[in-house]
Amino acid sequence: MMEDQNPTFSFELDYAGEKVRCRVNMQAQSCEILFDGRFIATIALTGDATWIQESGVTLPDSIIEEIGLRVESEYL
């Protein structure tokens, strides 16, 4: 990985009754989320330490929270 690239990591996630490969691309103020290589959403951490969805396919709060917890365990 080149130094100027944003960090990224992947994990398996249960979504809509199926296992998907969730890839998280860290951005300056948010995280880009891909499922099986396809852009799904961007999420961000608010000032009160809550994960919210900023754009993309509407995801259940539980999925946003699960992805956010994975980000926190990986980077925070």
Q: Which of 20, 15, 23 is nearest to 74 (CA)?
A: 23
- Kindly list the structural domains of the chain, giving each domain's residue range(s) and its CATH number in brackets, ordered by start: 8-75 (3.30.1880)
- Render pLDDT for 21-67 as a digit per residue (tens, 0 to 9): 999 999 989 999 999 999 999 999 999 999 999 999 999 999 999 99
DSSP 3-state assignment of 70?
helix
Using pLDDT thresholds of 50, 70 and 90, give the confidence band for residue 76.
Answer: low
DSSP 3-state assignment of 31?
strand
